[in-house]
């Protein structure tokens, strides 16, 4: 099997336009068959995409597989957490209850990416409060195609409009609880895991664009260097402060490279370039939250007695 670096540098580029999320997902599954690591699959899937939105699809799906190992490879899944008040634990009103007929989910999620196409959802829901009065959360798998689940599509947003979003209502929907704490083991780490996998897919897509447009070898080298940095992250512990600091550095490097690439976009096919201009906000949507996590990571490190900046 080729290394992921050799793949994105030498694999034939499929120029066939992708007409839907389903077509993009099918290409992802075909192109990633030989890559077991979710991060490598995100890179390869992003490379196979013909636009940034479909690269996001690859990164997002592989991030969920990194979060919940054992999901079927061909199964499209979505994380369903955000409610009317946001995705913070205090805003989650959806509940997971055990009944005589098994576990059930009740509530409404206002913004779930790819819910209309997903077979199952990873739903974050409350199970009561702990001794200190804080809400307990659990994650549960919920099959979309059941009577207790209603998916209502939302209007497309201004960037990556191909990637649909929906409101999902659960009315005693059958659920399969996952082991662990819904916040500490799922919602909190997923934010970091998703950042890493979506960035990996976006960089894989940029290598594709660079090859098609004949970008300078030095540019492609820097793209691969950023990919190498992502592959070196210790994603097995996505809450570690060092990981957040390293990931913050990689995002800064990609920002610098993106700025330096402006002149080379003139070499890119106009349709691809126009989509990039439309969709590039996709890479900054979580920037504020990511910056907060980075500052929290630095504060955690600085507060350690052994830390010194000398």
- How confident is the model at residue 223, as a pLDDT? 97
Q: pLDDT tens across 265-279, in order?
A: 999 999 999 999 999
Residue 188 pairs in a beta bridge with none
The 10s digit of each residue's pLDDT in 111-144 is 999 999 999 999 999 998 777 778 899 999 999 9
Query: Which stretch of DSSP H or E encloses residue 104?
Result: strand 102-113
**Residues 104, 174 contacting (CB under 8 angstroms):** yes
What does the alpha-carbon distance between residue 226 and residue 4 come to, in Å, rounded to a whole number? 13
Q: Which residue has the tokens 């068959």?
A: 33
Helix (H) or strand (E) holding 176: strand 176-177
Domains and CATH numbers, the chain: 4-66+186-302 (no CATH), 77-177 (2.40.110.10)
Q: How confident is the model at residue 32 (pLDDT cuts 50, 70, 90)?
A: very high
pLDDT of 201 above 80: yes
Three-state DSSP class for 59? helix
Q: What is the mean pLDDT of the chain?
A: 93
Neighbours of 200 (CB within 10 A): 31
Per-residue model confidence as pLDDT tens digits over 144-153: 999 999 999 9
> 228-253: per-residue pLDDT in tens?
999 999 888 888 989 999 999 999 99
* HEC profile of 271-303: HHHHHHHHHHHHHCCCHHHHHHHHHHHHHHHHC
* Cα–chain center distance at 14: 23
Write the CA distances from 149 to 27, 114, 198, integer angstroms: 28, 14, 28
| pLDDT, position 179 | 96
């Amino acid at each position: 099997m080729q290394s992921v670096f050799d793949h994105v540098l030498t694999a034939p580029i499929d120029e066939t336009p992708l007409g839907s999320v389903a077509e993009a997902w099918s290409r992802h599954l075909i192109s990633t068959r030989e890559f077991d690591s979710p991060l490598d699959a995100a890179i390869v899937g992003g490379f196979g995409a013909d636009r940034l939105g479909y690269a996001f699809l690859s990164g997002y799906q592989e991030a969920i597989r990194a979060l919940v190992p054992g999901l079927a490879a061909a199964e499209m899944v979505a994380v369903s957490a955000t409610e009317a008040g946001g995705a913070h634990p205090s805003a989650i009103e959806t509940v997971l209850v055990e009944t005589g007929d098994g576990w059930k989910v009740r509530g409404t999620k206002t913004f779930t990416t790819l819910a209309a196409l997903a077979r199952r959802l990873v739903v974050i829901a409350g199970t009561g409060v702990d001794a200190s009065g804080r809400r307990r959360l659990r994650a549960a798998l919920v099959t979309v195609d059941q009577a207790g689940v209603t998916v209502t599509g939302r209007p497309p947003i201004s960037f990556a409009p191909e990637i649909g979003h929906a409101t999902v209502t659960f009315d005693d929907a059958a659920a399969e609880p996952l082991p662990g704490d819904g916040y500490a083991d799922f919602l909190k780490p997923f934010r970091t895991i998703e950042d890493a996998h979506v960035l990996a897919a976006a960089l894989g897509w940029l290598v594709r664009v660079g090859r098609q447009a004949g970008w300078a070898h030095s540019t492609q080298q820097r793209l691969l260097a950023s990919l190498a940095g992502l592959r070196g992250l210790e994603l097995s512990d996505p809450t570690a402060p060092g990981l957040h600091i390293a990931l913050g550095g990689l995002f800064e490097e990609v920002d610098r490279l993106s700025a330096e690439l402006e002149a080379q976009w003139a070499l890119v096919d106009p349709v691809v370039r126009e989509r990039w201009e439309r969709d590039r906000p996709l890479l900054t949507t979580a920037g504020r939250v990511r910056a907060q996590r980075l500052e929290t990571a630095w504060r955690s490190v600085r507060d350690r007695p052994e830390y010194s900046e000398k």
